[in-house]
A and B are shown apart, each in its own frame.
Chain A
């Protein structure tokens, strides 16, 4: 028992003292986004989650929204596997898929924000204020992820163009 407590204390020291700055938010947040999307899709297929008046456009939006809510976190998971465990072209494709997944999630949250909190016909009631801040925080976080993905792709493009330039110079030198 004493040993278990000691080990727990050592783990807590390491976790909170050395690693707390590095807790990755994306792997914590995205499974919840995914589970929320799956629950909506499977258990509440006809639910008008975004509280729109019934009609073809509302149904179309709701179906696309559910599709994006489920597919986006899955794309991010796939991209993570491709970037970490694969190499070459698959890794580069992983960077593109990660961007697509993050943009998809950004649009899911933006639509939810718009429909549930910003719609002027609904009004911002007092019971929505805290929820609004939480969803808005998540949206800003995903926006930063999109910026990160774009930066990573830009950086790879820059490096690739430099590599191509170096290769062309080598070929020119070889011809001489």
Chain B
């Protein structure tokens, strides 16, 4: 018998053994009342994974909406500041600072 055939006979026999073993274990777990704790834990893990995805999607949508609102507000504000700057009778260095801050806000959106 070749080396591979001998090794393969162990492999497939082991594979079938494990497969049938897990089916047996699954049947025992499914039809006995001893696995209540595990069943509850499996539910918690599966539900937590689903809930986490839902929660993160909702959070992401909300942050996206807030971000859009803030961008609109900043654009509106910088436009108004641009119109007000020539009318403000402040010292030149203050006006320069105001222009610089306004330009930074425009670049940020």
Question: Footprint of B on A, CB under 8 Å?
Answer: 50, 52-53, 55, 57-58, 60-61, 64-65, 67-68, 71-72, 75, 83, 87-97, 99-101, 103-104, 106-108, 110-111, 114-115, 118-121, 152, 155-157, 159-161, 163-164, 167
Contact = CB atoms under 8 A, between A and B. Distances in A.
A11 B66 CA distance: 26
A92 B34 CA distance: 12
A17 to B, nearest CB: 16
17 contacts: A52-B2, A55-B1, A68-B16, A87-B43, A89-B29, A89-B38, A96-B22, A97-B26, A99-B22, A100-B21, A100-B26, A101-B19, A107-B11, A111-B11, A111-B15, A121-B2, A164-B37
Contact of A119 (B4, B21, B42, B46): B4
Contacts of B4: 52, 114-115, 118-121
Given A61-B12, A156-B45, A163 B22 contact: no
B5 interface: yes
Contacts, number: 139
Contacts of B44: 159
A89 B19 contact: no
A68 B43 contact: no
Contacts of B23: 75, 97, 100
B85 interface: no
B41 interface: yes
Dominant secondary structure at the A interface: helix
Given A68-B16, A107-B18, A152-B45, A88 B40 contact: yes
Contacts of B6: 57
Given A107-B18, A111-B8, A93 B26 contact: yes
Contact of A89 (B8, B25, B35, B46): B35
Contacts of A55: 1
B43 to A, nearest CB: 5
A25 B26 CA distance: 25
A103 B45 contact: no
B9 A155 contact: no
A58 to B, nearest CB: 6
A-B complex: 7 closest residue pairs judged by Cβ atoms: A107-B15, A100-B22, A159-B41, A93-B26, A119-B4, A160-B41, A93-B30
A114 B11 contact: yes
Contacts of B77: none
Contacts of B42: 88, 91-92, 95, 156
A164 B37 CA distance: 7
Contacts of A118: 4
A163 to B, nearest CB: 5
